[in-house]
Amino acid sequence: PADGATVFPVLMRATRVLPRGSWDPAREIASVALDHEDRHRRRIALRTEAGAELLLDLPEAARLRDGDGLEAEGGVVRVRALPEKLLEIHAHDEGELVRIAWHLGNRHLPVQLLGDRIRILADHVIAAMVEGLGGHAEAIEAPFDPESGAYEGGHGHGHGHGHGR
């Protein structure tokens, strides 16, 4: 404005998650870049990459994945996964990788399974464990999209131990 007053963007409100591939990219009005931890939310104030304010206001916590859309007034805000410091774990053979995966699971670590390799958040103690088990842990930066877990139904993020039915 001519009087020098600061203009704040209008707050958008997103109330629904649209799984990647289920929404028309032509509806995209903005994007928001989030790391793994910030992609598990129910309610949080965010800022889009263009600087607009966005209130994520879901009825329950949801696990947001790269490419998901947040339905907001006027269109869809795309979720982008930010690169993070990770370890990419390789092994000499499939059996060795399965054994390493078991040890990671036994520690309740979030893991991203990529066929012949596994990604976890960077942790020097776990890297040493992997090396001790005969695997290789390479430091990389990439988006982290771990498995959602058997008790999450593929949508949420939680770690309940209610193993009964």
Query: Which of the two residues, 97 and 154, has the higher pLDDT score?
Result: 97
DSSP three-state, residue 104: helix
C-alpha–C-alpha distance, residues 79 and 125, integer Å: 31
Residues forming beta bridges with residue 70, ordered by sequence position: 17, 77
pLDDT of residue 4: 55
Kindly report, residue by residue over 60-107, the tens digit of the pLDDT. 999 999 999 999 988 999 999 999 999 999 999 999 999 999 999 999
Torsion of CA 153, 155, 159, 160, to 10 degrees: -50
- H/E element, 72: strand 69-72
Give the predicted TM-score (pTM) of the model. 0.74
Does residue 5 register a pLDDT over 60?
no
pLDDT of residue 159: 37
**Cα dist from 157 to 8, 36, 110, 123, 146, whole Å:** 33, 11, 11, 21, 10
Q: What one-character DSSP code corresponds to residue 25?
A: G
Structure tokens at 151: 């008790």
pLDDT of residue 151: 53
Instruction: Quickly count: other Cβ atoms within 10 Å of residue 108's Cβ.
Output: 10
Q: If you average pLDDT over residues 28-49, what whole number do you get?
A: 93
pLDDT grade, residue 10 (50/70/90)? low
